[in-house]
């Protein structure tokens, strides 16, 4: 076992070095971190409007929300409850059928309570989740959420994504001032650099326009409007292959299960009393073909031998039933163009690898931030002033969102197998570190669950894992080869997390109080 005093000393020194590194990045990127204005709009997603059209605007609407998924529906209810007149335009009002967005972390559930939406996980056969179980090379360890300080109802929730979204939509439309309609938004309506509303096509293919002082785009990961409002840099590191296992018992009841398999992780978690979702991560953007049987063969020969024995037969039965689905895993840092009259939210704005199930927690946290910003405002019609004020949204959301985003990207790389011996040592060190229990597991699980999403805590635990891995290599007798691998392990760890932090924004993530927009006051009424 590594001497904890030595570990603390080395960690303190490393944290000091990291602080200097981050300060250097901060000074280097101060100019680039300042938000840009007047970037213009992609011609495919914006339409200029003339003065003759302005007089016909719908004066009875305060906010247009594009999309009624988790973010859009929750936002509609939240703003509607505050008395805003809301119009939501959703491409398809049928119950969605997705293989992600099925696990809500406890931190996200707390945000759901804060928004008054906690009853949306009722009557959909949602399952309580109390933590994770990690499996590697036949060994396992259980990581429980640190829920001792919370009400007994607080836990994670897992469910069918579509059922949850339908409950959210029902909740939103229960308010008389929220109007939900089906339509496909084709463009944003722009006038002199300000977004005035949207142009959309109804279910009957009729072209219509809708106007409001504020348009919020929440049309998901496939957004065709985001290029007007941000600089998207979408990365697709892998794809999920989804299966549903029926009538089987997980090794650890009411826990998510992560198998550190080769080449990348496999996930299991309950989505109803009788169903378990399985997500097999396949690196890269291409997966074996389902239609010609290559996928079934891959799952049976490569994946099945690495599945825990308790789930093996149910896994093979799910393959035989043939309902195999795939979805690309996207990652996209938030790089907004502050635009008068418009705002981006949800997966249209910011994505991270879904390994940690943090997407809904980030979206709900963002909604709380935006609600609190908008509450003092009675008039949304001064678009330039409102835009300048709402720039603070992008800063205030950063510490929570960036912590969850960085953890997701870093954990995916650490949990994936690699031909690099140093990376594999880091993987083993992570498993052993979490298995120590106490502060060694509670801290990382608090980050993962969204209960304590603090950037500095994330960096400290990440490098503590790296130092723990070096200690395992050097004790009891260091050798030149082991010292070299240890040095590569520290270098590899830095190469994993520091680029993600840089993409998220060092200044906004660690020093948000230095950003002028952090202190921006509401427009004068």
Q: Parse the chain into domains and list their residue ranges.
A: 63-124+159-234+332-381, 236-330, 408-509
Q: What's the rounded Cα separation, in Å, for the pair 396 and 510?
A: 11
Phi, psi of 67 (to 5 degrees): 105, 135
At 393-433, the pLDDT tens digits run: 999 999 999 999 999 999 999 999 999 999 999 999 999 99
Q: What's the rounded Cα separation, in Å, for the pair 89 and 10?
A: 54
Judged by average pLDDT, the poorest of 17-21, 43-47, 73-77, 476-480 is: 17-21
CB atoms within 10 A of CB 253: 11
Q: Give the pLDDT confidence score for residue 98 in this predicted structure.
A: 92
pLDDT band at 37 (very low <50, low <70, confident <90, very high): very low
357 sits in the region (left: phi over 0; alpha: psi -120 to 50; else beta) called left
Q: Kind of pairing, strands 127-129 and 235-246?
A: unpaired
Q: Give the pLDDT confidence score for residue 30 in this predicted structure.
A: 42
According to DSSP, the residues that pair with 243 across neighbouring strands are: 278
* Residue 212 contacts residue 189 (beta carbons within 8 Å): no
Judged by average pLDDT, the poorest of 23-37, 302-316, 494-508 is: 23-37
* Residue 411 contacts residue 433 (beta carbons within 8 Å): no
At 434-493, the pLDDT tens digits run: 999 999 999 999 999 999 999 999 999 999 999 999 999 998 888 999 999 999 999 999
Between 16 and 488, residue with greater pLDDT = 488
59 pLDDT higher than 90? no
pLDDT band at 47 (very low <50, low <70, confident <90, very high): low
Predicted model pTM: 0.89
Between 521 and 180, residue with greater pLDDT = 180
| Average pLDDT over every residue of 216-227 | 93
213 pLDDT higher than 50? yes
CB atoms within 10 A of CB 445: 19
Q: Which residue has the tokens 């950063």?
A: 398
Write out the CATH class of domain 236-330.
alpha beta
Q: What's the rounded Cα separation, in Å, for the pair 378 and 374?
A: 8
| Average pLDDT over every residue of 253-257 | 97
HSE-up of 412 (CA within 13 Å, CB side)?
26
Third-level CATH fold of 63-124+159-234+332-381 = FAD/NAD(P)-binding domain (3.50.50)
pLDDT band at 60 (very low <50, low <70, confident <90, very high): confident
373 pLDDT higher than 90? yes
Nearest to 41 by CA among 184, 185, 183, 195: 195
383: its two tokens: 């678009």
At 347-369, the pLDDT tens digits run: 999 999 999 999 999 999 999 99
13 pLDDT higher than 70? no
Average of per-residue pLDDT values in the chain? 89
| Average pLDDT over every residue of 262-290 | 97
Between 451 and 58, residue with greater pLDDT = 451
Dihedral sign from CA coordinates of 105, 109, 110, 114: positive
């Amino acid at each position: 076992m590594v001497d904890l005093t030595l570990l603390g000393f080395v960690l303190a020194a490393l944290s000091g070095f990291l602080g200097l590194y981050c300060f250097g990045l901060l000074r280097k990127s101060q100019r680039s971190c300042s938000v840009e204005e007047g970037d213009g709009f992609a011609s495919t997603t914006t339409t200029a409007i003339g003065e003759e059209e302005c007089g016909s605007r719908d004066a009875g609407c305060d906010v247009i929300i594009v999309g009624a998924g988790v973010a859009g529906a929750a936002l509609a209810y939240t703003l509607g409850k505050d008395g805003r007149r809301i119009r939501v335009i959703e491409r398809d009002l049928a119950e969605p059928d997705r293989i992600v967005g099925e696990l809500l972390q406890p931190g996200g559930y707390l945000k759901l309570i804060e928004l008054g939406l906690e009853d949306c996980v009722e009557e959909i056969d949602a399952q309580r989740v109390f933590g994770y179980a990690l499996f590697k090379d036949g060994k396992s360890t259980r990581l429980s959420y640190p829920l001792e300080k919370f009400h007994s109802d607080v836990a994670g929730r897992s469910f069918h994504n579509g059922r949850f979204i339908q409950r959210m939509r029902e909740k939103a439309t229960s308010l008389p001032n929220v109007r939900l309609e089906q339509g496909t938004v084709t463009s944003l309506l722009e006038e002199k650099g300000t977004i005035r509303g949207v142009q959309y096509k109804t279910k009957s293919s009729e072209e219509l326009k809708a106007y409001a002082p504020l348009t919020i785009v929440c049309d998901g990961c496939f957004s065709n409007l985001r290029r007007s409002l941000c600089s998207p840099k979408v990365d697709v590191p892998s794809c999920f292959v989804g299966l549903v296992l029926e009538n089987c018992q997980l090794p650890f009841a009411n826990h998510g299960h992560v198998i550190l398999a080769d080449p990348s992780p496999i996930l299991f978690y309950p989505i109803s009393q009788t169903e378990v979702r399985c997500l097999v991560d396949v690196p890269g953007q291409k997966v074996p073909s389902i239609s010609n049987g290559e996928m079934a063969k891959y799952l049976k020969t490569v994946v099945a031998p690495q599945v825990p024995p308790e789930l093996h037969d149910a896994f093979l039965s799910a393959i035989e039933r043939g309902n195999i689905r795939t979805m690309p895993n996207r990652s996209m840092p938030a790089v907004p163009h502050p635009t008068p009259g418009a705002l981006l939210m949800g997966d249209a704005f910011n994505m991270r690898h879904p390994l940690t199930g943090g997407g809904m927690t980030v979206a709900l946290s963002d909604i709380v931030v935006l609600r609190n910003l908008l509450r003092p405002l009675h008039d949304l019609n001064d678009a330039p002033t409102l835009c300048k004020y709402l720039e603070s949204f992008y800063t205030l959301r950063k510490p929570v969102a960036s912590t969850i985003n960085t953890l997701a990207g870093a954990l995916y790389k650490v949990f994936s197998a690699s031909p690099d011996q140093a990376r594999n040592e880091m993987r083993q060190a992570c498993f052993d570190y979490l298995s120590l229990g106490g502060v060694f597991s509670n801290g990382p699980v608090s980050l993962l669950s969204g209960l304590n999403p603090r950037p500095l805590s994330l960096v400290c635990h990440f490098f503590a894992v790296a130092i723990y891995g070096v200690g395992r290599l050097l004790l009891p007798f260091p050798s030149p080869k082991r010292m070299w691998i240890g040095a590569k392990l520290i270098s590899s760890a830095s190469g994993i997390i520091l680029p993600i932090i840089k993409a998220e924004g060092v200044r906004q993530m660690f020093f948000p109080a230095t950003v002028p927009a952090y202190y921006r006051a509401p427009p004068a009424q």
